[in-house]
Each structure stands twice: as C-alpha cells, then as structure tokens.
Amino acid sequence: MCRWFKSFGFWFVLLIVLLGSKLALALFVFQHPANVFLPDSFGYEDLAVNLIQRGRFDVPEESALGFIRTPGYPAFIASIYWVVGRMPGGVIFIQLILDALTCLLVWQIGRQYFSSAIGMLGAFIYAISLNATIGSLYLLSDTLFTFLLVVALFFLGNYWVKSEKRWCILAGVFLGLMSLVRPIGLYLAFIWIVFFAIKQWKSSVKHWYRATLVLSLFFIGLVVPWFARNYALTGRVMFSAAEAINLYCCFAPAALAEDENISFLEARANVDAPFRFQSLNKLEPWQFFLAADHAGAIILHHPIGFAKAHLKGVFATLFEPVYRQWLQLIGIEYIPSGFLSKLLARDWNGALVSLSLSTDWLWLAIPLLNEGYIVAVYLFAVLGVFKIFRQSPSNDALALTLLCVITILYLVIVPGPGGGLRFRIPAEPLFALLAAVGLAETRPLVSRGH
C-alpha cells in the first residue's frame, strides 16, 4: 500500500479518474440547461446565436452588446453551437475538458520548473478546487480565459527553458486570444510583455529585443483589428465598453455609498439620476463615454469612499464563496440568512451567535470546508513564493514565480468594487502551483527525491 502512494503512476491514474468524474457533471447540465445561465450568460449567447444566423457580431435589439463584449467567448460558443446545435450542455462539456487540460498544464509547468511531484501536487490542488469546477458549469467566459492564460504561461515558460522562437510566437498568440475573451486580459498582456522584455534584457542584452518584438507583433496582430472595428463604428479608440459600464454601474455607486453611508442601490440610483438609463444594453456608444465621464467625476470627489470600496472588493475577490452558484446550479434559490450572511457582512459577533444556534450542519459544512481550502491554498502559496526566492532554484524559476505573483495581484486588485469569484478563478491554477511548492516543504511525499 505504501508503494502505491509513492508511485507516480498511481497518482497520475487517480488524477485522470478525478478529471473524468468532473466531466460527468456535464450530464446534469444536459438535463437542466436553464440552470447554467447567469445574467451575463444571456448576452454571450445572444451574440453567438446572431454570429451564426446573421454573420454579425451584434444583437439588433441590444446594440450595445457588440461593444461591451469582446468576440472571443461568443465565437467560442458559436463554434460549438454550429456543430451540435443550440445546446448549452455542449459548451459546458467542452469547458470541463478545458478545465481538465488546465489542470494537466499546471502539472507540466510544475514538472518543468520544479519537480514531477510538485507538478502533480499542483494539479491535484487545482483539480479539487470547487471554485474552478463550478465556474466551468456556467455559460461564462471564466474557464476559457483561465485556460488561455495558463497556456500562454506554459509557452512562455518553454521559451525561457528552450529559447526556441516558436514558443515565443505561440505565447504572443495566446496572449492575444486571452485579451479577446475578456477585456481585463488586455492590460495583463501588456504587463506580461513588459516583464518579458525586462527578463530578456537581463538575460541577453544583445538580443533582448528580438524575442520581445516577435511576442509583441503576434499579440498586436490579434487585438488591433478589434480596436480598428470599434474605432470605425464609434469614432473612438476603444477595446471594450465594459470599462465604462463598470465605472458607471459599480465603481462610482460603491464610492458614493461608502462616503454617504447609504445602500448601494440608493447610490446607484443617484449616479443614474442625470441619465435615467432603462437598459444599458441598448445604449449608443456616445452614451457610454458620457456616463463614464460622469462616474469618473463622482469617484474623484469621493476618493476615501472609493478606497474603502476597493478594499472590500479585493476581500470579496479573495473570499467570495462559491456555494451561491452551486445552489443555483441545482435549482435552489440562495436566500442569505444565518451564519454565512453575517460572516459575509463582517458581523463577527452575530456570526458566532448564529453558529452556536445552527442545526443545519450539512449546508454549513460545505461552504466552510471550501473557505478552509481557499485559506489553506493562500497560505501555502505564500510559503511557496518565500521558499522559491529563498532557495533560488534558477533565474527562470524566479521569473516564472514573479510573473505568477504579478498576475495574481493584478486579477485580485484591479477589479476593485466589481470583484468577486469570477476574477479569482483565473488565478486559481497559479495559486495551486505556488501552493504545491509551499506544501512540498512540509510533506516528504512530494520531495524532489520522489
């Protein structure tokens, strides 16, 4: 029995079985397809359906959708619908496959830079993530974005180890695809390119610009056409109107609510008072910019409130529980009450009193175990970063680790008041990889010797 637990083949087979069992979750989705739709899902699917039926990236009744959403995820849905028909379950099945491939990529990155045991442990930590699994079961762009991000990291890591131009080209392509799936990936890609340029300059001053130029050209070649399309339709350089919507619907109301001690809904109504927009999806492009300028002015007049709201948003991104989406997936409406609602509201005394009176331990245990998993992964990830920088296994490993840390901080901090579980999911495989290194320090089973 002890030999089994030290056998690489045993853990690999167990990982494949675990990933295969996750694919079986698609059967539930095929039986209850309506449950996989969250508010943002409808916009993605409407664009995909119109892309198939009319060959145009827009929705006649909701003209703003073609500017709010980037084309990556709707095109992904459309390609699946074109093959299997309008079946959300087909999209979810492919997303579960991508989630499994992300898991295997974490293993490969860990194996290449640290050890096979650390890579396998990182894959297991990500495979058991309830956040990533539940995220794959909704018609949302998170799983595809996460997969593309990890693929780009894998190719970039390969280039640092092997210095072959093809890996640099592929990294640039996937950075571009990542940006087209979610707008937040655009600035992240720029950060990666700057980091890559600095890394290349320190490694080879004479030839640093060549690889950076190749990476940049393939990235730019994918995103510039979308900028050009939006400029042709709006007369303004714009990648996505999502930024303006977030400023108007989330950032400004959150800052106002904090400063004036009112509810978010009341603050949202105050921000909207000059415009009285009925449906954001029906706005014209010039209205986006007008609303964004108005929201920006409100934020500038409430800097302290915005700072407080931003910190709360970071907290929500790090710790927002997944059980709300899980309950909706199985057809149960989430009604905040008792211990969990008080915990989320940071009412610590009320949470303790509610916990002492609770009798429904099953529904309480699942989210608490998941939150315990999240906290443990964070702690081991910090330990892993400390271990890597202390032991300095190689300059490439240090660079990869630093890039992971920068990416995690970007994904967690930038969303601010609009943050939450969706922005944490792309960081999960990076947390898992770093946590595996931290956990390996305290568990002989995953030492380099094994």
* Whole-number Cα distances in Å, 321 to 336, 365, 368: 12, 12, 9
Q: And the tokens for 363?
A: 């529904």
Could you tell me the pTM of the whole model? 0.88
Pairwise CA distance, residues 181 & 185, whole Å: 8
Burial 159-179 (b: 16+ CB within 10 A, else e): bbeeeeeebbbbbbbbbbbbb
Among 368, 255, 325, smallest CA distance to 36 is for 325
**pLDDT the model gives residue 173:** 96
Give the Cα separation of 175 and 353 in Å (integer): 48
- What is the residue whose two structure tokens read 């390969």? 158
In this prediction, residue 2 carries a pLDDT of 46
Per the structure block, which two tokens stand in for 110?
Answer: 């860990």
Question: What was the pLDDT predicted at 326?
Answer: 63
Residues 98 and 147 sit within 8 Å (Cβ to Cβ) = yes
How far does Cα 241 stand from its chain's mean position?
Answer: 19
Listed as own residue / partner, the contacts of 79-87 with beta carbons closer than 8 Å and 24 or more positions apart are: 81/48, 81/49, 81/52, 82/52, 86/49, 87/30, 87/33
pLDDT, residue 277, reads 79
What does the pLDDT look like over 30-46, one tens digit per residue? 777 788 888 889 999 99
d(CA 58, CA 66): 5
pLDDT for position 410: 96
CB 48 within 8 A of CB 110: no
Judge whether 159 and 168 are in contact, CB under 8 Å. Answer: yes
The confidence score (pLDDT) of residue 351 equals: 58
* Cα 436 from Cα 431, distance rounded (Å): 9
Cβ-based neighbours of 11, under 8 Å, separated by 6 or more: 120, 124
pLDDT of residue 448: 40
Angstrom distance (rounded) from CA 62 to CA 283: 8
Residue 22 and residue 239 in contact, taking contact as beta carbons nearer than 8 Å: no
* Amino acid, single-letter form, for residue 264: F
CB 119 within 8 A of CB 106: yes
Name the stretches of the chain with pLDDT < 50.
1-2, 4-5, 357-359, 442-450
Amino acid at 219: F
Please, is 26 exposed, middle or buried when counting C-beta atoms within 10 Å of its C-beta (0-12, 13-18, 19+)? buried
> What amino acid occupies position 198?
I
Rounded to a whole number of angstroms, the distance between the first and last alpha carbons of the chain is 16
Give the pLDDT of residue 328: 66
Residue type, 273: A
